[in-house]
């Protein structure tokens, strides 16, 4: 979440903004101010979209232009190799009759902050032109004297300098393929300055993680809470009939409106509401809710020590214990909530107990902790994110770090977990239909899955809901089928015939690794849909001279988990 006034026509359905919070203590050095967010009319949006579509400026084109080494350097926040590549491409184009390619011009200008000649921007965006881009708020046009004062080589009388970050983004998931160009504020990599408190982030790792988690089935109403630049709303617009996007920041809403217009989303499908968290939403219901809320708990003492309040990340107090139940309560029947968040590990306490209390009793809950950091590591990460680094401002950094560590110590916090929070409201059932209670799963999964997880999340929720209606005898009668992406690893001590460890590995989904005992390994080995769990358990019990009833109960419990994880399917009995 991020703030600044924007053109009222850019935000259909917007409510009045809430009173601004009290400003934080001033930071040292002074924070930069943000330029106005860009604004598009319908005609400007159509022209710019057509220009960009014809330019060839896409993710692959940028990669070819700058090369793999420069691309990897950009991911490490080093732009010089990419700058060298685009400068060479620009110069080569200037020596040729045709001039620089649109890909080189747009990459240099909007992704790397390199001023280009206005005439080159005219060629790259023929309908919009440099002056049109300036009217929209994408660039500032500078004459020769202004450019030389900035230390840039003007070449010709007028240069275009980017006021925003604009870059191509491509989506491939269950909703199909899409290509967009997404605008946000210029980042530190290009500006060389600390971020302004009202900075609107672009597409980052957290945003892509959230986009990959959300199920992409068709829905009626979707909510993007804390929309930032609007990337989640763009994803939602591919499979939701109506989207509500909220943010405390008017600047964020303006960027969301800009990006939605550029993507061709009809204004009547997107409602933008200004306000903090749940305040502007009333008693609405949604089929899908996505949120990467500002959940960083920055103690007042830390801000007093020099760290500014950043709207896109700082909550100023415990938010998730109130936000999670509020959002879960807004789910329609069959609706799903997908969030990112972090939570504290109290000394001597299990984080699952406190986090589990956030969810109402009438929804299913699934929390996946992906990582945990100690207090020093956590505080250092967010101090650097806020522009304080020991290499540049040692005294201010250590004062803020000391205040943060002291706050954790006073409250008995020994670690901070990061991960996913998912909730699902069961479908309504008719009279006489079986009803089930909600299920709860809070777990730690530290694997590194690849690709979008939305389909896996939806399938897991559906399987858990179905199996929750079945007792153990019903499950024992099902005929398991091992998933095609499951492999088995056996580890043997040299000279011994039997393996000491058997691991089942999942190629897709969350990429889980499960240590299997002899009985489970035997079941997986014959799980082709021919035999039921009870039949397999009986045969294995005879071979192992084990109690068949106890072994069946053990395998039923394990198969419930494996099915929910996507490592096993349990088709209904014929």
| CATH code, domain with 532 | 3.90.930
Residue 262 within any structural domain of the chain? no
Query: Are the beta carbons of 184 and 233 closer than 8 angstroms?
Result: no
**pLDDT the model gives residue 148:** 53
User: Taking a C-beta distance cutoff of 8 angstroms, is the pair 148, 133 a contact?
Assistant: no
Question: Considering the domain boundaries, does residue 88 fall inside one?
Answer: yes
- Across the range 221-225, mean pLDDT stands at 99
SS3 readout for 320-383:
HHHHHHHHHCCEEEEEEEEEEEEEEEECCCCHHHHHHCCCCCCCEEEEEEEEEECHHHHHHHHH
Residues 6+ apart with CB under 8 A from 240: 218, 219, 220, 221, 222, 287, 288
Q: In which band, very low, low, confident or very high, does the pLDDT at 97 lie, cut at 50, 70 and 90? A: confident
pLDDT digits (tens, 9 = 90+) for 475-524: 999 999 999 999 999 999 999 988 999 999 999 999 999 999 999 999 99
Token code pair at residue 407: 């706050």
For the cut 60, the answer to whether the pLDDT of residue 393 exceeds it is yes
Q: Which is more confidently placed, 66 or 28? A: 66
Domain boundary among 167, 188, 220: 167
pLDDT-derived band at 388, boundaries 50, 70, 90: confident
Region of poorest pLDDT, from 80-89, 210-219, 390-399, 483-492: 390-399
d(CA 157, CA 516): 72
Total structural domains within the chain:
2
Q: How high does pLDDT run on average in the chain?
A: 89
Per DSSP, 151 falls in state T
For the ranges 7-21, 391-405, 485-499, the maximum mean pLDDT occurs at: 485-499
Over 80: is that where the pLDDT of 300 sits?
no
Distance CA 87, CA 35 (A): 26
CA 461 vs. chain centroid, Å, equals: 20
pLDDT-based confidence at 157, cuts 50/70/90? Answer: low
Name the range with the highest mean pLDDT among 14-23, 433-442, 483-492. 483-492
Question: What is the C-alpha separation between 470 and 474, in angstroms, rounded?
Answer: 6
256-297 pLDDT, tens digit per residue, is 999 999 999 999 999 999 999 999 999 999 999 999 998 676
Residue 151 lies in a domain: yes
Domain boundary among the residues 167, 192, 224 is at 167
**pLDDT tens digits, residue range 517-563?**
999 999 999 999 999 999 999 999 999 999 999 999 999 999 999 99
Least confident stretch, 147-156, 219-228, 534-543: 147-156
296 is a domain residue: no
Residue 177 included in any domain: no
Domain stops at, among 167, 190, 215: 167
For 100-117, what is each residue's pLDDT tens digit?
999 999 999 999 999 999
Q: Domain span at residue 481?
A: 468-569
Q: What is the pLDDT at residue 430?
A: 66
The answer to the question of residue 396 being in a domain is no
Q: Is residue 248 part of a domain?
A: no
CA 113, 116, 118, 121 torsion-angle sign: negative
- Tell me which residue of 214, 138, 211, 199 sits closest to 170, measured CA to CA: 211
Confidence class of residue 421 from pLDDT cuts 50, 70 and 90?
very high
Is 526 part of any domain? yes
**Mean pLDDT, rounded, for 348-373:** 96
């Amino acid at each position: 979440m991020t703030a600044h006034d924007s053109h009222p026509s850019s935000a259909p359905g917007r409510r009045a903004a809430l009173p601004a919070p009290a400003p934080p203590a001033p930071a040292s050095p002074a924070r930069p101010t943000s330029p106005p967010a860009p604004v598009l009319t319908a005609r400007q949006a159509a022209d710019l979209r057509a220009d960009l579509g014809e330019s060839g400026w896409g993710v692959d084109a940028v990669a070819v232009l700058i090369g793999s080494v420069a691309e990897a350097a950009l991911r490490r926040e080093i732009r010089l190799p990419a700058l060298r590549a685009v400068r060479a491409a620009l110069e080569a184009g200037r020596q040729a009759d045709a001039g620089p390619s649109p890909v080189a011009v747009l990459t240099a200008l909007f992704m790397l902050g390199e001023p280009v000649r206005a005439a080159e921007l005219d060629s790259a965006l023929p309908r919009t032109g440099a002056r049109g881009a300036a009217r929209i708020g994408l660039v500032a046009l500078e004459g020769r004297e202004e450019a030389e004062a900035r230390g840039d080589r003007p070449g010709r009388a007028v240069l275009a300098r980017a006021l925003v970050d604009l870059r191509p983004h491509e989506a491939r998931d269950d909703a199909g393929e899409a290509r967009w160009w997404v605008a946000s504020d210029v980042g530190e990599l290009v500006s060389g300055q600390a971020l302004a408190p009202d900075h609107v982030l672009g597409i980052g790792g957290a945003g892509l993680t959230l986009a990959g988690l959300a199920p992409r089935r068709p829905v009626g109403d979707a909510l993007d809470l804390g929309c930032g630049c609007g990337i989640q709303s763009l994803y939602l617009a591919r499979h939701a009939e109506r989207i509500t996007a909220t943010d405390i920041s008017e600047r964020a809403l303006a960027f969301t409106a800009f990006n939605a217009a550029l993507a061709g989303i009809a204004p009547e499908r997107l409602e933008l509401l200004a306000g903090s968290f749940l305040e502007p939403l009333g008693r609405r219901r949604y089929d899908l809710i996505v949120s990467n809320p500002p959940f960083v708990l920055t103690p007042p003492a830390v801000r007093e020590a020099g760290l500014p309040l950043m709207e896109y990340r700082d909550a100023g107090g415990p938010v998730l214990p109130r936000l999670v139940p509020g959002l879960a309560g807004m789910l329609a029947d069959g609706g799903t909530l997908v969030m990112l968040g972090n939570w504290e590990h109290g000394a001597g306490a299990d984080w699952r107990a406190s986090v589990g209390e956030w969810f109402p009793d009438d929804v299913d809950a699934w929390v996946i902790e992906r990582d945990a950091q100690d207090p020093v590591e956590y505080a250092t990460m967010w101090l650097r994110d806020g522009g304080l680094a020991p290499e540049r401002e040692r005294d201010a950094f250590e004062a803020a770090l000391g205040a943060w560590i002291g706050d954790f110590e006073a409250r008995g916090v020994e670690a901070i977990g990061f991960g996913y929070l998912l909730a699902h409201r069961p479908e309504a059932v008719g009279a006489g239909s079986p009803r089930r209670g909600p299920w709860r799963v809070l777990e730690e999964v530290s694997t590194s899955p690849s690709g979008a997880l939305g389909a896996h999340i939806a399938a897991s929720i559906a399987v858990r809901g179905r199996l929750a209606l079945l007792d153990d005898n019903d499950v024992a009668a099902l005929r398991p089928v091992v998933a095609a992406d499951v492999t088995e690893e056996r580890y043997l001590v040299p000279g011994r015939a039997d393996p000491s460890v058997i691991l089942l590995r999942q190629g897709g989904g969350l990429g889980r690794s499960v240590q299997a005992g002899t009985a489970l390994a035997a079941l997986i080995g014959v799980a082709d849909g021919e035999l039921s769990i009870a039949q397999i358990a009986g045969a294995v019990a005879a071979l192992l001279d084990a109690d068949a009833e106890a072994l069946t109960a053990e395998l039923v419990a394990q198969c419930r988990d494996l099915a929910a994880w996507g490592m096993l399917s349990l088709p209904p009995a014929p």
